[in-house]
């Protein structure tokens, strides 16, 4: 009986491992062609040098870009994916985390408001509105947008820059919002 149980368990482990590998590969097969996540915005609406700018308050370095727009401009899902979390934080203000292709996490913050939407979102779907909530209060409304990868990109490790090891996880949006 013990052997039988152990056998079943190892079969389960095998299935889970295969399923995990399958999902991992699927995540990379889905093409990631992003749109700029603010309605009518172009690459001129953010400072490309602001990525990894130092010093940047409590964050030390700036791990994303700030896309400037009028208050309450629509924030769009840059790809299709899954909205995994939303909430409010003292620094972030209204924020959203979204899972997109390639196991990338998109992070949006300082939103004026978050539109109630389903779990799954389509590319271009309105997920919120630009604002200056959190520590962006009294600043010009903008969307802080970051792209992180769950699977670390070890080759991005940068030992010569401030918090350079975190570059394995935070990707430069300039290279994705084309
Ligand atoms: Zn920012």
Q: What is the three-class DSSP state of 111? A: strand
CATH number of 165's domain: 2.70.70.10
* The total number of structural domains that make up the chain: 2
Kindly state whether residue 36 falls inside one of the protein's structural domains: no
Ligand 1 centroid to residue 164 C-alpha, Å: 18
pLDDT at position 178 over 90: no
Ligand 1 centroid to residue 58 C-alpha, Å: 12
- Structural domain boundaries enclosing 5: 1-30
Kindly state whether residue 37 falls inside one of the protein's structural domains: no
User: Do residues 3 and 84 both lie within one domain?
Assistant: no
Helices and strands: H and E segment counts in the chain: 1, 10
End-to-end CA distance of the chain: 59
The two most distant CA atoms of the chain are separated, in Å, by 68
User: Do residues 23 and 51 both lie within one domain?
Assistant: no
User: Do residues 12 and 80 both lie within one domain?
Assistant: no
Per residue in 86-107, pLDDT (tens digit) is 999 999 999 999 999 999 999 9
Query: Sorting pLDDT into bands at 50, 70 and 90, what band is 4?
Result: low
CB 3 within 8 A of CB 34: no
User: Do residues 21 and 68 both lie within one domain?
Assistant: no
N residues, the chain: 178
Residues that place a CB less than 5 A from ion ligand 1 = 66, 144
Alpha helix stretches (DSSP H) within the chain:
2-29
pLDDT at position 172 over 70: yes
User: Do residues 157 and 103 both lie within one domain?
Assistant: yes
CA distance 121 to 127: 8
CB 83 within 8 A of CB 121: yes
The predicted structure's pLDDT at residue 1: 53
Ligand 1 centroid to residue 57 C-alpha, Å: 11
């Amino acid at each position: 009986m013990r052997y039988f149980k152990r056998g079943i368990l190892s079969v389960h482990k095998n299935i889970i491992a295969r399923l995990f590998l399958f999902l991992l590969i699927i995540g990379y097969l889905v093409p990631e062609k992003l749109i700029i996540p603010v309605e009518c915005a172009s690459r001129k609406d953010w400072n490309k040098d602001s990525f990894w700018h130092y010093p940047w308050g409590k964050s030390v370095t700036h791990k994303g870009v700030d896309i400037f727009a009028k208050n309450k401009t629509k924030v769009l899902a840059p790809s299709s994916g899954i909205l995994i979390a939303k909430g409010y934080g003292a620094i972030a203000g209204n924020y959203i985390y979204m899972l997109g292709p390639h196991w990338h996490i998109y992070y949006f913050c300082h939103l004026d408001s978050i539109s109630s939407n389903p779990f799954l979102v389509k590319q271009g779907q309105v997920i919120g509105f630009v604002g200056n909530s959190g520590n962006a209060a009294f600043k010009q409304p903008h969307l802080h947008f970051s792209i992180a990868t769950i699977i670390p990109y070890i080759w991005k490790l940068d030992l010569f820059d401030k918090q350079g090891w975190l570059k394995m996880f935070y990707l430069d949006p300039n290279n994705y919002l084309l």
